[in-house]
Amino acid sequence: MSQVGLQRCCVWMAMMLLLPSAPVEGRDLRLFNSVLISLQRIQANTFTQKEMLDISPGANIALYCTTKCTLLDWCKLWCAYPSTNPSHCLVSSIIFMPTYQETDLTDALTCHTTRPKDLATYADITAGLPGVTYPQRNEQNLVNGFYSYDPNENMATMSKPSERWFILDFGQPKCFQHVIMYAQNNSSAPRRFNNIEVRVGNVKAVTPPGDLSSYDLFGWFLGPAAKGQVVEMKSPKPVCARFVSACKVAGDGQQLQVAHIEVF
Protein backbone atom coordinates (compact mmCIF):
# COMPACT_ATOMS: atom_id res chain seq x y z
CA MET A 1 0.00 0.00 0.00
CA SER A 2 1.18 3.60 -0.54
CA GLN A 3 2.41 5.85 2.26
CA VAL A 4 -1.14 6.86 3.15
CA GLY A 5 -3.86 4.45 4.16
CA LEU A 6 -7.60 4.98 4.07
CA GLN A 7 -9.74 4.75 7.18
CA ARG A 8 -13.38 3.71 7.04
CA CYS A 9 -14.82 5.66 9.92
CA CYS A 10 -17.16 8.17 11.45
CA VAL A 11 -20.89 8.75 11.19
CA TRP A 12 -20.92 8.50 7.42
CA MET A 13 -19.76 5.88 5.00
CA ALA A 14 -16.13 6.34 3.91
CA MET A 15 -14.81 5.36 0.53
CA MET A 16 -11.65 5.57 -1.56
CA LEU A 17 -11.54 8.70 -3.69
CA LEU A 18 -10.97 7.02 -7.05
CA LEU A 19 -13.02 8.57 -9.78
CA PRO A 20 -13.64 6.16 -12.69
CA SER A 21 -13.03 7.21 -16.26
CA ALA A 22 -12.06 4.21 -18.39
CA PRO A 23 -10.65 0.75 -17.70
CA VAL A 24 -6.88 0.32 -18.01
CA GLU A 25 -5.43 -3.16 -17.59
CA GLY A 26 -8.08 -4.13 -15.06
CA ARG A 27 -7.93 -0.86 -13.09
CA ASP A 28 -9.80 2.43 -13.42
CA LEU A 29 -8.27 5.64 -14.67
CA ARG A 30 -8.57 8.42 -12.14
CA LEU A 31 -9.94 11.80 -13.12
CA PHE A 32 -7.03 14.22 -13.37
CA ASN A 33 -7.19 18.01 -13.01
CA SER A 34 -4.62 20.39 -14.53
CA VAL A 35 -2.47 22.73 -12.42
CA LEU A 36 0.71 24.78 -12.98
CA ILE A 37 3.57 23.76 -10.65
CA SER A 38 7.22 24.80 -10.41
CA LEU A 39 9.51 21.91 -11.40
CA GLN A 40 11.91 22.90 -8.62
CA ARG A 41 9.12 22.68 -6.05
CA ILE A 42 8.53 19.05 -7.00
CA GLN A 43 12.17 18.02 -7.39
CA ALA A 44 13.37 19.65 -4.16
CA ASN A 45 10.93 17.69 -2.02
CA THR A 46 12.66 14.84 -0.18
CA PHE A 47 9.58 13.35 1.50
CA THR A 48 7.79 12.09 -1.60
CA GLN A 49 8.38 9.49 -4.26
CA LYS A 50 9.13 10.67 -7.78
CA GLU A 51 10.24 9.08 -11.01
CA MET A 52 11.00 10.22 -14.56
CA LEU A 53 9.51 7.88 -17.17
CA ASP A 54 10.38 7.74 -20.86
CA ILE A 55 7.48 8.39 -23.21
CA SER A 56 7.30 5.79 -25.95
CA PRO A 57 7.85 7.24 -29.44
CA GLY A 58 4.55 8.09 -31.08
CA ALA A 59 2.57 7.58 -27.88
CA ASN A 60 -0.37 9.79 -26.94
CA ILE A 61 1.28 11.77 -24.15
CA ALA A 62 -1.84 12.38 -22.05
CA LEU A 63 -3.04 8.78 -22.27
CA TYR A 64 0.43 7.33 -21.72
CA CYS A 65 1.26 9.46 -18.66
CA THR A 66 -2.23 9.11 -17.16
CA THR A 67 -2.05 5.34 -17.54
CA LYS A 68 1.41 5.13 -15.99
CA CYS A 69 0.39 7.26 -13.01
CA THR A 70 -2.80 5.28 -12.53
CA LEU A 71 -0.89 2.00 -12.38
CA LEU A 72 1.44 3.33 -9.67
CA ASP A 73 -0.51 3.21 -6.41
CA TRP A 74 1.61 6.03 -4.93
CA CYS A 75 1.27 8.43 -7.89
CA LYS A 76 -0.83 11.55 -7.21
CA LEU A 77 0.51 13.76 -10.01
CA TRP A 78 2.11 13.64 -13.44
CA CYS A 79 3.75 16.32 -15.56
CA ALA A 80 4.92 16.18 -19.18
CA TYR A 81 8.61 17.12 -19.22
CA PRO A 82 9.87 19.33 -20.68
CA SER A 83 6.78 21.46 -21.09
CA THR A 84 7.46 21.87 -24.83
CA ASN A 85 8.00 18.78 -26.98
CA PRO A 86 7.88 16.47 -23.93
CA SER A 87 9.77 13.20 -23.99
CA HIS A 88 9.31 12.20 -20.34
CA CYS A 89 6.62 11.94 -17.67
CA LEU A 90 7.52 13.16 -14.22
CA VAL A 91 5.33 11.22 -11.76
CA SER A 92 5.21 12.03 -8.06
CA SER A 93 3.37 11.25 -4.83
CA ILE A 94 3.29 14.93 -3.82
CA ILE A 95 -0.20 16.38 -3.47
CA PHE A 96 -1.20 19.56 -5.28
CA MET A 97 -4.79 20.72 -5.40
CA PRO A 98 -6.24 21.86 -8.75
CA THR A 99 -6.86 25.34 -7.32
CA TYR A 100 -3.21 25.76 -6.23
CA GLN A 101 -1.70 29.02 -7.56
CA GLU A 102 2.00 28.77 -8.41
CA THR A 103 4.05 31.87 -7.53
CA ASP A 104 7.22 30.85 -9.40
CA LEU A 105 6.35 30.49 -13.08
CA THR A 106 9.94 30.50 -14.37
CA ASP A 107 10.05 26.69 -14.58
CA ALA A 108 6.34 25.92 -14.22
CA LEU A 109 5.02 22.76 -15.82
CA THR A 110 1.45 21.92 -16.67
CA CYS A 111 0.79 19.00 -14.35
CA HIS A 112 -2.20 16.79 -13.72
CA THR A 113 -3.31 15.92 -10.21
CA THR A 114 -5.63 13.19 -8.99
CA ARG A 115 -7.03 15.45 -6.29
CA PRO A 116 -10.47 17.08 -6.75
CA LYS A 117 -11.29 20.77 -6.81
CA ASP A 118 -12.02 21.64 -3.20
CA LEU A 119 -13.07 24.41 -0.85
CA ALA A 120 -10.27 24.23 1.73
CA THR A 121 -7.55 25.56 -0.58
CA TYR A 122 -7.05 29.26 0.24
CA ALA A 123 -10.00 29.33 2.64
CA ASP A 124 -9.66 31.66 5.61
CA ILE A 125 -8.53 29.71 8.65
CA THR A 126 -8.27 30.36 12.36
CA ALA A 127 -6.84 27.93 14.89
CA GLY A 128 -5.65 27.40 18.41
CA LEU A 129 -2.19 28.67 19.28
CA PRO A 130 0.65 26.78 17.56
CA GLY A 131 3.26 24.90 19.55
CA VAL A 132 6.29 26.96 20.54
CA THR A 133 8.89 24.38 19.46
CA TYR A 134 7.92 24.43 15.78
CA PRO A 135 6.21 27.77 15.04
CA GLN A 136 6.33 26.95 11.30
CA ARG A 137 3.64 24.33 11.93
CA ASN A 138 0.93 26.94 11.56
CA GLU A 139 -2.61 26.73 10.26
CA GLN A 140 -1.84 28.38 6.91
CA ASN A 141 -0.09 25.17 5.87
CA LEU A 142 -3.51 23.49 5.78
CA VAL A 143 -4.91 25.84 3.13
CA ASN A 144 -1.88 26.53 0.88
CA GLY A 145 -2.97 24.08 -1.81
CA PHE A 146 -0.30 21.41 -1.48
CA TYR A 147 0.99 18.74 0.88
CA SER A 148 4.68 17.83 0.87
CA TYR A 149 4.52 15.06 3.54
CA ASP A 150 7.06 17.01 5.66
CA PRO A 151 5.82 16.72 9.29
CA ASN A 152 7.47 20.04 10.12
CA GLU A 153 5.08 21.76 7.72
CA ASN A 154 1.91 20.28 9.24
CA MET A 155 -0.50 22.36 11.24
CA ALA A 156 0.00 21.68 14.96
CA THR A 157 -1.58 23.41 17.95
CA MET A 158 -0.54 23.62 21.58
CA SER A 159 -1.54 20.67 23.73
CA LYS A 160 -3.98 22.61 25.92
CA PRO A 161 -7.56 21.37 25.35
CA SER A 162 -8.65 24.96 24.68
CA GLU A 163 -6.20 25.26 21.76
CA ARG A 164 -6.75 21.99 19.87
CA TRP A 165 -9.03 23.22 17.07
CA PHE A 166 -9.24 25.01 13.75
CA ILE A 167 -12.04 26.56 11.68
CA LEU A 168 -12.24 27.01 7.90
CA ASP A 169 -14.27 29.96 6.63
CA PHE A 170 -15.45 29.83 3.00
CA GLY A 171 -16.88 33.37 3.15
CA GLN A 172 -20.38 32.18 2.33
CA PRO A 173 -22.25 28.88 2.54
CA LYS A 174 -20.83 26.25 0.18
CA CYS A 175 -22.13 22.74 -0.45
CA PHE A 176 -19.99 19.64 -0.03
CA GLN A 177 -20.16 15.97 0.92
CA HIS A 178 -16.59 15.04 1.78
CA VAL A 179 -14.07 16.10 4.41
CA ILE A 180 -10.71 14.35 4.06
CA MET A 181 -7.87 14.75 6.56
CA TYR A 182 -4.37 13.29 6.56
CA ALA A 183 -2.51 12.31 9.71
CA GLN A 184 1.15 13.28 9.92
CA ASN A 185 3.62 11.01 8.22
CA ASN A 186 5.56 9.85 11.29
CA SER A 187 5.24 7.87 14.51
CA SER A 188 3.59 10.76 16.42
CA ALA A 189 0.36 10.34 14.42
CA PRO A 190 -1.37 8.01 16.95
CA ARG A 191 -0.91 10.56 19.75
CA ARG A 192 -1.79 13.71 17.83
CA PHE A 193 -4.52 12.54 15.45
CA ASN A 194 -7.34 11.04 17.48
CA ASN A 195 -10.71 11.93 19.08
CA ILE A 196 -11.44 14.49 16.35
CA GLU A 197 -14.89 15.96 15.74
CA VAL A 198 -15.69 17.75 12.50
CA ARG A 199 -18.60 20.17 12.72
CA VAL A 200 -20.24 22.61 10.28
CA GLY A 201 -22.21 25.80 10.70
CA ASN A 202 -23.15 29.17 9.26
CA VAL A 203 -22.52 31.49 12.22
CA LYS A 204 -19.01 32.52 13.25
CA ALA A 205 -17.97 30.79 16.47
CA VAL A 206 -16.53 32.72 19.39
CA THR A 207 -12.76 32.15 19.37
CA PRO A 208 -10.57 31.35 21.16
CA PRO A 209 -11.25 28.69 22.29
CA GLY A 210 -14.60 28.73 20.52
CA ASP A 211 -17.82 26.99 21.43
CA LEU A 212 -17.96 24.58 18.51
CA SER A 213 -20.79 22.52 20.02
CA SER A 214 -23.29 24.91 18.42
CA TYR A 215 -22.23 23.59 15.02
CA ASP A 216 -23.82 20.49 13.51
CA LEU A 217 -21.80 17.30 13.75
CA PHE A 218 -20.53 16.21 10.33
CA GLY A 219 -18.39 13.27 11.45
CA TRP A 220 -15.80 12.08 13.92
CA PHE A 221 -12.64 10.01 14.08
CA LEU A 222 -11.87 8.09 17.27
CA GLY A 223 -8.49 6.76 16.19
CA PRO A 224 -5.74 6.59 16.97
CA ALA A 225 -4.47 7.19 13.46
CA ALA A 226 -1.66 5.24 11.90
CA LYS A 227 1.33 6.98 10.35
CA GLY A 228 0.17 8.88 7.26
CA GLN A 229 -3.41 7.64 7.55
CA VAL A 230 -6.06 9.26 5.35
CA VAL A 231 -9.45 9.72 7.01
CA GLU A 232 -12.50 10.47 4.90
CA MET A 233 -15.84 11.58 6.29
CA LYS A 234 -18.70 11.53 3.81
CA SER A 235 -22.27 12.78 4.06
CA PRO A 236 -24.93 10.80 2.15
CA LYS A 237 -26.21 14.09 0.71
CA PRO A 238 -24.69 17.57 0.21
CA VAL A 239 -24.28 19.74 3.29
CA CYS A 240 -24.20 23.52 2.85
CA ALA A 241 -22.21 25.54 5.38
CA ARG A 242 -19.87 28.51 5.60
CA PHE A 243 -17.71 27.11 8.39
CA VAL A 244 -16.03 23.73 8.88
CA SER A 245 -14.37 23.07 12.22
CA ALA A 246 -12.19 20.30 13.59
CA CYS A 247 -11.48 19.84 17.27
CA LYS A 248 -9.62 17.27 19.34
CA VAL A 249 -12.24 16.73 22.04
CA ALA A 250 -10.39 14.23 24.23
CA GLY A 251 -6.99 12.65 24.52
CA ASP A 252 -3.78 12.38 26.42
CA GLY A 253 -2.56 15.96 26.60
CA GLN A 254 -1.08 15.85 23.12
CA GLN A 255 -1.36 18.43 20.37
CA LEU A 256 -3.78 18.38 17.49
CA GLN A 257 -1.68 17.90 14.36
CA VAL A 258 -3.25 17.67 10.89
CA ALA A 259 -1.13 17.33 7.77
CA HIS A 260 -3.66 18.09 5.03
CA ILE A 261 -7.38 18.70 4.58
CA GLU A 262 -9.75 18.65 1.60
CA VAL A 263 -13.41 19.68 1.52
CA PHE A 264 -15.49 19.01 -1.59
C-alpha 91: how far from chain center:
18
- Closest to 128 in 3D by CA, of 247, 218, 220, 213: 247
Q: Return d(Cα 63, Cα 61) in angstroms, integer.
A: 6
Most confident option among 100-109, 130-139, 157-166, 249-258: 100-109
Decide which of 152 and 261 is more confident.
261
User: Domains along the chain?
Assistant: 18-113 (no CATH), 124-263 (2.60.120.260)
Q: Please check the confidence at residue 180 and state whether its pLDDT lies above 90.
A: yes
pLDDT of residue 139: 85
Q: What is the pLDDT of residue 122?
A: 96
Cα first-last separation, the chain? 25
Q: State yes or no: pLDDT of 72 exceeds 90.
A: yes
pTM attached to this predicted model: 0.81
Question: Distance between CA atoms of 71 and 54, rounded to whole angstroms?
Answer: 15
Confidence at residue 199, expressed as pLDDT on a 0 to 100 scale = 94
State the average pLDDT over residues 7-13: 37
Average pLDDT of the residues of the chain: 83
Instruction: Output 76 or 9, whichever has higher pLDDT.
Output: 76
pLDDT at 104 over 80: yes
Identify the band that residue 23 occupies on the pLDDT scale cut at 50, 70 and 90: very low
Averaged pLDDT for residues 255-262: 92
Q: Tell me if 192 sits within 8 A of 242, measured CB to CB.
A: no
d(CA 168, CA 123): 6
pLDDT on residue 6: 40
Residue 12 has pLDDT above 80, yes or no: no
Q: Over the Cα atoms of the chain, what is R_g?
A: 19
List residues bridging with 165 in a β-sheet. 247
pLDDT digits (tens, 9 = 90+) for 181-232: 999 988 888 889 989 999 999 988 765 455 688 899 999 999 899 999 999 9
- Range with the lowest mean pLDDT among 4-18, 45-59, 103-117? 4-18
Residue 164 pLDDT level (bands cut at 50, 70, 90): confident
Q: Count helices and strands (H / E) in the chain.
A: 3, 18
- Mean pLDDT of the region 111-133: 87
- The answer on pLDDT for 33 being more than 80 is yes
What percent of the chain stands above pLDDT 90?
Answer: 51
Q: C-alpha angle 12/208/220, rounded to 5°?
A: 10
